[in-house]
Amino acid sequence: MAGVLDGKALATRMQADLAQQVKMLQEQAGRPPGLAVLMVGDNPASAAYVRGKERACAKVGIASFGKHFPTETTQAELEQVIQELNQDEQVDGILVQLPLPDHLDSVALLNQIDPDKDVDGLHPMNLGRLVRGEPGLQSCTPAGVMRLLQEYEINLRGKQAVMVGRSILVGKPLSLMLLAADATVTIAHSRTPDLAAMTRTADVLVTAIGRTELITPEMVKPGAIVVDVGINRIEDETGKARLVGDVQFEAVKEIASWITPVPGGIGPMTVTMLLHNTVWSYCQRLNIAP
């Protein structure tokens, strides 16, 4: 039976360490790190994510500069706000909560963020740094996956890794991080023919495709490390909602060597890496040792 890669426990420890670090750094810098989260509209899931991020900031001593805009806010208005935050010396990180309403161009907005304040790691300059293997702000979910694997001393060198999903948020940056750790990486996706044949080759199987319990035991190589980034909301016959991943957890854990749960796996690590990125940016901007 698989060991559980407990992201929640690691996130708790990392946040406690960050709180201590921020307390010491603030004495040198004279101010706390600052994170601005921009949210447009009233998407309930986005609102819940933003509240979670603000609570996490408060826990570690990061100042929150949350800004909530009505749905009809224009592209120009948001770009102006981002430019002001780029210049604000109290703000070390800027995050635009996705998805945005349809009339807004999210790529254009993300490109307006100062790359050195881009704590989501989605600016072309930060993605370019990742491709080149240079230091920079890295996308939070992929960085959280790598940190969790590191915590459990899982050596990726020479491993066959299969990444199911090709998004710019997870699939592409995580593939680059796995490659940098000397894994041999294959990217699969919803159009891949005979997905099961490919996933069965994986020593490390990562899925971020957003399809409820897509990965069955027959698709997993015995002894594989299975990382489930998917978050899918389902309702039972009584109408009660719960979260499940892309992997049939109970069945797959019988044959995997390690597996992440949903919830409690990668989700807490994503928020923690956002806090980590904000503190890293703060140190870089103020030229103080982290």
- Gap between the Cα atoms of 180 and 162, Å rounded: 14
- Please state, in angstroms and as integers, the Cα–Cα distance from residue 87 to each residue in 75, 81, 82, 203, following that order: 19, 10, 9, 46
- Please state, in angstroms and as integers, the Cα–Cα distance from residue 88 to each residue in 93, 94, 201, 260, 285, following that order: 10, 11, 49, 39, 12
- Gap between the Cα atoms of 146 and 173, Å rounded: 11
How many other β-carbons are positioned within 10 Å of the β-carbon of residue 263?
15
- Catalytically active residues are 53, 97, 120
Question: Is residue 8 a contact partner of residue 65, using CB atoms and an 8 Å limit?
Answer: no
Exposed e or buried b per residue across 198-227, where buried means at least 16 C-beta atoms within 10 angstroms of its C-beta: bbbebbbbbbbbbeebbbeeebbbeebbbb
- Gap between the Cα atoms of 276 and 273, Å rounded: 5
Q: If DSSP codes are grouped into helix, strand and coil, which group holds residue 232? A: strand
DSSP 8-state secondary structure symbol assigned to residue 62:
P
H helix intervals, the chain: 7-29, 44-60, 75-87, 106-112, 124-132, 140-151, 171-180, 195-199, 249-252, 266-286
Q: Which tokens go with 129?
A: 């740094």
